[in-house]
Structure 1
């Protein structure tokens, strides 16, 4: 999708309302990437980035948390694409595919730090006890597909005899390890990370055979 220049947006033709919704989400993502801080994503700032009047947003999103939910879903959809591609690499065995999925996850976190932080940092999460359009079930299903891709790759390794893990439990440990490394890399950039730390973490938590 082309970037919408601030203040130069042309009015959509009848029936193109879905395009404006996409542009609002894109504007929010661009603003997040530029600022690195989800707290800057207000209805006013998003409208300015999209080149529209703030009231136009209400035709597509009832409030700011609804836009943030759409941003997170969009980022997760991007992550799912790269994880799925890594997990379906032609000619690769189960172990190589699992390692590919794990490295793809870490690469996404490294190349999209602002989006990753918003996806998993928890700072944008609305207070569900207050009046908001975001429901608890909306939050509970976020990341399900990403988690399933990782779990499927781990289970394939177990089935092939390349891992001694219990996929139903150890996939959680594996994800926590990947997330912890991704988060710490972003927050402690000056730390002298040892060479091969990714491979050691993946091999250990996935309980891969030597």
Structure 2
């Protein structure tokens, strides 16, 4: 759509709807183009049918817009983490299942994953996406680790430090599989599952009897 062609004036109270349309258009463009660098404010405006200044009424700049897109995308991850842990009583199997859910989500949503972690955020300055991740990935893994500590499976201490170890392994595997898919990963997620089991076995104060969980096909 040409820049000089715009949508009819929105009625009062339609700002939230326009913001949602901007997020949807940006998400579509991001996935279609495969890179945040290829997405521009002008392209988003054209897709929505507004002028570029209309975008800036809702988002300060492209970084803020992409952050909102990623945060919006990762809001569904909370449901993914809950589904991964559902019905798994063994706490270490649950931790592995949660880590594997993270890996799977990254692989299935690789463009958003790369965009999310391409920006550096510093202590005390979390992005909107950081806050969403802390309430989903971090929060659910922490619940599992705290239960494991209470059950005597892990030495008592700061659960945050343990969560960071588990999350770091899941994220490291996910990042490698997304950015280096040509490495010899095989046709399934066995390597990823083995890495998650290894970190959990290392943290456990008691021997862990592993059963196949079934993360077989990528």
Structure 2: which 5+ runs fail to align?
A: 209-218
**1:18-77 Cα deviation digits (max 9, x unpaired):** 011011111111111111111122210111222322121122122222212211211221
Q: Contact 1:33–1:114 at 8 Å: present in 2 too?
A: yes
**1:120-178 Cα deviation digits (max 9, x unpaired):** 232xx59x9xxxxxxx6243853321212222122223333445685332211211111
Q: If the length of structure 2 is used for normalisation, what is the TM-score? A: 0.76
What is the CA distance between 1:116 and its match in structure 2? 0.6
Alignment correspondent of 1:4 = none
Alignment correspondent of 1:189 = 181
Alignment correspondent of 1:139 = 127
Alignment correspondent of 2:26 = 28
Residues paired across the two proteins, number: 193
Aligned residue for 1:137, secondary structure, equals coil
Alignment correspondent of 1:172 = 164
CA distance in 2, matches of 1:8, 1:156: 55
Alignment correspondent of 2:194 = 200
Q: If the length of structure 1 is used for normalisation, what is the TM-score? A: 0.78
RMSD over equivalenced CA pairs, Å: 2.8
Select 1:39's aligned residue among 37, 40, 53: 37
Q: Show the 5 A alignment for 1:113-132.
A: 113-122=110-119
CA distance in 2, matches of 1:164, 1:193: 33
